[in-house]
Amino acid sequence: MAQLTAADCDANEREFEAILECREATMQTVEGITPEMTCSIVELLLGSDPILKPLLVGAVSAVGQVKGNLGDSEIMRQFQDIFNLSTSERRTGRATVNFSAVRMAGQLICKIYMDECPSLEKLSKKHGNPFVDTKFPDSPGGIINKELYDTFARDRWAQSPADPNHAVLVEFFNKVYRSDGNFTMEATQKITENFNRKVEAKRVEIANRRVEPNPAADR
């Protein structure tokens, strides 16, 4: 199919840019984010030498999370801006990241690395993965993935993006998502800091309560 041009639309440069944005938004409305679009996104991420590691972490983490936990993070905003993965919130109408699209990218990344990254394998299996599975658990996440899987023909899920930095990213994912069953060292440090801050605040509160004047005693 020939590429659309400004001449085809009788448009100037600015008008043509607007037309392209409108077209992409419309096609995403018609089909949603397709497996092919997902493959294009992941191929860019994996081939970035890889300097966009935060986006890789964001995509993978979206697989096991809900939008409320990650939707307003800096990484999600980058997905929205770079890949034009934007939708609107139902309640406010405010533009926000298309979290389902980011999750699909994460699911494809899990498919590529799950054989060498145990945590990604567990993540992929938790609610099923449309790029891997044909049957899905009867969980809220599994039901969503089953509906997504049924939206497209089975052969469209057989996506294999180029993966030029495989060994580097295997090491990276295993370092980021390492687990011995306990909190990570970084999480333990953060939890301890929060706990100590709460303890200190409580001590100050109790001390202040002890020195507050008692109006009844002055009568």
Tokens 């145990």 correspond to 118
AA identity, residue 168: V
Tokens 């899905």 correspond to 136
pLDDT tens-digit readout, 73-96: 888 889 988 888 877 565 655 677
pLDDT score of 215: 61
Beta bridge partners of 86: 97
pLDDT score of 194: 93
pLDDT score of 10: 87
Q: Rounded to an integer, what is the distance from CA 130 to the centroid of its chain? A: 16
Task: Provide mean pLDDT across the span 207-218.
Answer: 68
The DSSP symbol for 57 reads H
Structure tokens at 165: 């930095």
Is residue 98 scored above 90 in pLDDT?
no
pLDDT tens-digit readout, 141-169: 899 999 999 999 999 999 889 899 999 99
Task: For residues 26 and 82, give the distance between their C-alpha atoms in angstroms, rounded to a whole number.
Answer: 18
Task: For residues 34 and 157, give the distance between their C-alpha atoms in angstroms, rounded to a whole number.
Answer: 9
User: Which stretches does DSSP call E strand in 53-134?
Assistant: 86-88, 95-97
CB atoms within 10 A of CB 205: 9
